[in-house]
Amino acid sequence: MTLVDSPPAEAATQGTRVARRAFLVRELGIGLALVLLIAVTYAVNPRFLSAQNIKDLLLGSTILAILAVGQAVVVITRNVDLSAGSVLGLSAFATGAVFVAAPGLPIPLMLVIGTALGAVLGAVNGGLIAAAKVPALVVTLGTLYMFRGLDYTWATSRQINAADMPPAFLRMGTETVLGVPVLALFAVAVLVAVGYYLRHYRGGRELYAIGSDPAAARLSGIPGGRRVFAAFVASGALAGLAGVLHAARFGTIDANAGLGIELNVVAAVVVGGVAIFGGSGSVYGAALGAVLLTTIRAALPVLGVNPFWQDAAVGALILASIGLDRALSARVGRSLREGKAHG
């Protein structure tokens, strides 16, 4: 046999460089698309970047971004959480109900309560999926209905109004620090914390490992059930937090809060470059995806496009994103292989 020597180091590193660049490109790409969109819209109408409008954009993105971060954690493990919108709804209504019952409750405690409620609901999902070994899509579709039904049952067509909630809490929904809404700061804090955990902690890396190859994860002794459970608890907790923020932002809550938002969240994650079959992508991308989706909806009317085109544009964006991912991974795969080929 002609002996194949180890590949030249240069070739290998070149393939690597292309791979690394592609991952960067993916998130940069969304960022770039976002910047371009904003620039064009600004050129058409400079008022698009008024302080108020920026604030609105950030506020609009906040809740979707937090949900997208939680969803990304789950999708990275090759699962999906369709119940996020219903968890948000329950938590939002709980926020109102708790304030009606205990008007003097400190706001931080309310945030903890909402997050904890979400975590419990997430634990229901995660428990069923990890312990009974049933597909996440089916379980969370089921809990999508169940949680929403509980929400309706609890709300019994009541509506909780701004007057029922402490003014300080509602102020939190609109207040800004240096022009940045407080709610958006929540989203950034969540994003950085989760992003850092996924990148720098064993538990985080194991989530990627599980999504990348579940069988290999098992052979490596990764506690798959426990990790997937934790991912669903995290997703639930973030949806719960988003519910509290939803209540603060809108002031009026009925049982319909967050209705139908789940597919939007999955869309944000996909647009953000998280592979729907797990193993790759980042929460930063997912959050950027959420911001991009929100910005498109806001920018189209400014650009003079009939606002009825919004959904269609979002759909086209999703298709373009997964198409781009496909093309990129094909290119990376080729360059990694070619790096080897002439060894």
Partner 1 sequence: MAERIAPVRRVLGSWDVIVLLAVVAVATVGAFTIEGVASPRFWRFVALEALPIALIALPMTLVVITGEIDLSVASVLGLTCTVMGQLWVSGVTSLPLLIALCLLLGAVLGAVNGLFVTGFGLPSLAVTIGTLALYRGLAYVVLGDRAVANYPREWTSSAIAPIPGTTIPWMILVLAALAVVFAVVLHATPVGRALYAMGNNAEAARFAGVNVRLTKFWLFVATGTMSALAGVFWTLRFASARADNGSGLELAVVAAVLLGGVSIFGGRGALLGVLAAVALLGVLRNALQLAYVPANTLTVITGALLIASVVGPNVAGMLRERLRRRRSTAPTATPTT
Partner 2 sequence: MPTPVLALEGVSKSFGAVAALRDVHLELHAHEAHGLVGENGAGKSTLVKILAGVHAPDTGTITLDGRPLRPAGPADARAAGIAVIYQEPTLFPDLSVSENIFMGRQPLRSLRRIDTALMRARAAELFDRLGVRLDPDRPARGLSIADQQLVEIAKAISLDARVLVMDEPTAALSGVEVERLFAVTRSLRDAGTAVLFISHRFDEVFALCQRITVMRDGRWVSTDPASALGVDEVVRRMVGREVSAMYPRQDSAAGAPRLQVRGLTRRGAFADVGFTVHAGEIVALAGLVGAGRSEVSRAIFGVDRYDSGEVLVDGVRLPPGDIAAAIRAGLALVPEDRRQQGLVMELSVERNTNLPRRWRLTRGGLLFGGAERRAAVGWAQRLQVKAGRLTDPVSTLSGGNQQKVVLAKWLATEPKVLIVDEPTRGIDVGTKAEVHRLLSELAADGVAVLMVSSELPEVLGMADRVLVMHEGRLTADIPRARADQETVMRAATGQAAAA
Contact between 323 and partner 1 per CB under 8 A: yes
Q: Which of 2, 108, 153, 200 binds partner 1 (CB under 8 A)?
A: 153
Contact between 326 and partner 1 per CB under 8 A: yes
Contact between 315 and partner 1 per CB under 8 A: yes
Instruction: Provide the residue type at 245 as one letter.
Output: L
Q: Give 235-302 as a DSSP string.
A: HHHHHHHHHHHHHHHH--B-TTTTTT-HHHHHHHHHHTT--TTSS---HHHHHHHHHHHHHHHHHHHH
**Cα atoms in the Cβ-side hemisphere of radius 13 Å centred on 81:** 42
The binder of 9, among partner 2, partner 1, none, by C-beta within 5 to 8 A per type, is partner 2
Which pair of structure tokens corresponds to residue 234?
């995290």
Size of the site for partner 1 (CB under 8 A): 52
Residue with tokens 């976002």: 34
3-state secondary structure of 181: strand
| Smallest distance from partner 1 to CB 311, Å | 3
Q: Which of 15, 89, 126, 236 binds partner 2 (CB under 8 A)?
A: 15
Count the residues in the chain: 343
DSSP assignment letter at 6: P
Handedness of CA 251, 284, 202, 131 (dihedral sign): positive
Radius of gyration of the chain (CA): 22
| Smallest distance from partner 1 to CB 88, Å | 16
Nearer to partner 2, 2 or 306 (CB): 2
The binder of 138, among partner 2, partner 1, none, by C-beta within 5 to 8 A per type, is partner 1
Segment lying near partner 2 (by CB under 8 A), choices 169-177, 187-195, 301-309, 335-343: 335-343
Q: Which of 32, 49, 106, 201 binds partner 2 (CB under 8 A)?
A: 201
The binder of 15, among partner 2, partner 1, none, by C-beta within 5 to 8 A per type, is partner 2
Segment lying near partner 2 (by CB under 8 A), choices 13-21, 130-138, 159-167, 290-298: 13-21
Among 78, 169, 70, CA closest to 121: 70
H/E stretch holding 180 reads: strand 180-181
Contact between 220 and partner 1 per CB under 8 A: no
Contact between 209 and partner 2 per CB under 8 A: yes
Size of the site for partner 2 (CB under 8 A): 44
Which pair of structure tokens corresponds to residue 150?
């509980």
Contact between 27 and partner 2 per CB under 8 A: no
Work out the number of other CB atoms within 10 angstroms of the CB of residue 170: 17
Residue with tokens 């094909």: 330
Which pair of structure tokens corresponds to residue 109?
């405690």
Tell me which residues touch partner 2 (CB under 8 A).
1-9, 12-13, 15-16, 19-20, 200-202, 205-206, 208-209, 211-213, 215-223, 275, 279-280, 332-333, 336-337, 339-341
